[in-house]
Amino acid sequence: MNLLIKNGIIIDSNNIYKSDIYIVNEKIDSIGKNIKVKTSNIIDADNCYILPGFIDVHTHFNIPFFDTFSSDDFFSGSIALATGGTTFFIDYICPDDDKLVKAADLWFEKSKYSIIDYSFHCIIKQVTKNTYNDMKILSSNGITSFKIFSAYPNFLLLENEKIFQVLKYAKELNSLVCFHAETGEVIQNLISDSKKNGFTSPINHFITRPEILELEAIERIIKFADLLKTSIYIVHLSSINSLNKIILAKKKGLNIFTESCPQYLVFDSTEYCIDNFYSSKFVMSPPLRNKYNKNELWKAIRNNNLNIISTDHCSFFLNDQKIKSDFSKIPNGVALGQYRAILLYNYGVLTKKITLNKWIDILSVYPSKLFGLYPKKGAILPGSDADIVIFNPNKKSIFFNNSNTDFNDFSNFSFLGLIEAVFSRGKLIFKKNKISKNIYKHGTFVKRKKVNFDLF
Ligand code: URP
Ligand code: ZN
Ligand code: ZN
């Protein structure tokens, strides 16, 4: 297979330049002006941006949650992601117990249906004599990051001693620990009080998970990381007070990486004030925050204090799964995997909060570099995988929901910028609102290199 993309405007971390790109088989062969090759497979990308396929390092496909499973599997989920320009994702393996390698085998089985490439992190919810060995096996097989929770008691929460132990193991294995920061035990107490007093509607999800309990968990994990002189990756950060603690710790020399999500940059807690039906959609953890956080998070992206915006894509049906009479029984999660790039473009680039280069950094370059994928992924360079998005900044998008859910949050939105085409390793996945045929199982597992700690 060879393909010549002509006259596009390539965007990377530092440059915006007009060039042709020649793709041979699955890789970028060459980049340059007026490339002359013998092929009839030519796309004219005049006035379009040529972008490195986006990378989403936080998804939950078919994950058990309370009494149900998230509704996107690797097939529907990868379609939703790809139609939003994402060509690589990292999903969280969720073990039932301490058997991480066994759980990884199940994830390898489920993930065969993905249409784009992917890798895994592994959740650790029990620490036993098996844990170190399993972490070692996984990290030597390219699963070089793990996730632990201080939230969700009796489900995913790890106590302090276990959290500390996992940090020690990961340090020894040169792997990265991803941390969900909320103080679950105290939240549980607030939930019990709320229900005792008859407050059971979805807004109480927001009220019982206050910002200060994200801050508490962040302060704690920073102290543990400091004690061990190790790195940590904070997932789905939602509030600015917590981020300020991280910034201080970074100034002290600690290697702390932070991710946030489009939901915390675009929406806020006023979404919980509409009606119970609508609010249920936004039951996620951490919850949406008060408005003032949003601007500060954008500022942090600009100042390089917030490096990765992934989605925490975790879909549920509104009618069959999310609507409950008790907020504490609603499975947590939103499904913005398809909308990440266009939201960040409209709310970030077009409002001049971030530059086009920064847009590409947080979508592709930084996640690729941190999670051991660069320059195979997240780069438009000779030799990189031909994971490419053709983006037309002058056309409007219409979004058809491709996630396996019963609602489309953005059917009434008019966004500027259209994803014209998406290629995964040179294969056309999506063009002009049409998903290609014969892409079933196109995605492959990518063994990641060790995490790159010396980055930002
Ligand atoms: O509400 C959320 N975030 N659901 C997914 C699980 C998690 O905590 O990341
Ligand atoms: Zn989480
Ligand atoms: Zn998550």
CA of 49 relative to ligand 2 center, distance in Å: 33
| 147 CA closest ligand 1 atom index | 9
Q: Is beta strand 16-24 parallel, antiparallel or unpaired with respect to 2-11?
A: antiparallel
Nearest CA to ligand 1 atom 5: 333
Nearest CA to ligand 1 atom 9: 312
CA of 107 relative to ligand 3 center, distance in Å: 16
Nearest CA to ligand 1 atom 8: 285
**Residue whose pair of structure tokens reads 């995490």 in the numeric block:** 451
CA of 333 relative to ligand 2 center, distance in Å: 9
List pocket residues of ligand 1, CB cut-off 6 Å: 60, 180, 236, 284-285, 312, 314, 332-333
pLDDT of residue 339: 95
Which segments of 339-447 does DSSP mark as H helices, in order?
Answer: 340-344, 356-360, 366-370
- The answer to whether 235 and 314 have CB atoms below 8 angstroms apart is no
Spell out the SS3 assignment of 278-325: HHHHCCCCCCCCCCHHHHHHHHHHHCCCCCEECCCECCCCHHHHHCCC
Q: Which two tokens stand for residue 107?
A: 């994830």
**Nearest ligand by distance to the CA of 332:** 1
pLDDT of residue 402: 93
CA of 431 relative to ligand 1 center, distance in Å: 31
Q: Which two tokens stand for residue 182?
A: 């909320």
Mutate which of 282, 285, 322 for ligand 1? The one with the most ligand atoms within 8 Å of its CB, which is 285
- How far apart are the C-alpha atoms of 406 and 282, rounded to whole Å? 14
- How far apart are the C-alpha atoms of 356 and 360, rounded to whole Å? 6
CA of 329 relative to ligand 2 center, distance in Å: 16
**Nearest ligand by distance to the CA of 333:** 1
Mutate which of 236, 281, 288, 316 for ligand 1? The one with the most ligand atoms within 8 Å of its CB, which is 236
**Residue whose pair of structure tokens reads 């492959």 in the numeric block:** 444
Selection from 5, 84, 144, 121 nearest residue 339 by Cα: 84
Selection from 5, 86, 3 nearest residue 39 by Cα: 3
- The burial of 278, by beta-carbon neighbours within 10 Å (0-12 exposed, 13-18 middle, 19 or more buried), is given as middle
- How far apart are the C-alpha atoms of 71 and 69, rounded to whole Å? 6
Q: Which residues lie closer than 8 Å to 227 by C-beta, 6 or more apart? A: none
Q: Which residues lie closer than 8 Å to 190 by C-beta, 6 or more apart? A: 207, 208, 209, 210
Is the model's pTM score more than 0.85?
yes
CB atoms within 10 A of CB 411: 10
Nearest CA to ligand 1 atom 2: 333
DSSP-derived 3-state class of residue 23: strand
Q: Mark the residues whose beta carbon lies below 5 A from ion ligand 3.
A: 312
CB atoms within 10 A of CB 295: 12
pLDDT of residue 452: 76
pLDDT of residue 456: 61
CA of 21 relative to ligand 1 center, distance in Å: 38
CA of 441 relative to ligand 1 center, distance in Å: 26
pLDDT tens for the chain, 456 residues long, are 899 999 999 999 999 999 999 999 999 999 999 999 999 999 999 999 999 999 999 999 999 999 999 999 999 999 999 999 999 999 999 999 999 999 999 999 999 999 999 999 999 999 999 999 999 999 999 999 999 999 999 999 999 999 999 999 999 999 999 999 999 999 999 999 999 999 999 999 999 999 999 999 999 999 999 999 999 999 999 999 999 999 999 999 999 999 999 999 999 999 999 999 899 999 999 999 999 999 999 999 999 999 999 999 999 999 999 999 999 999 999 999 999 999 999 999 999 999 999 999 999 999 999 999 999 999 999 999 999 999 999 999 987 889 999 987 787 788 999 999 999 999 999 998 899 999 999 999 999 998 877 766
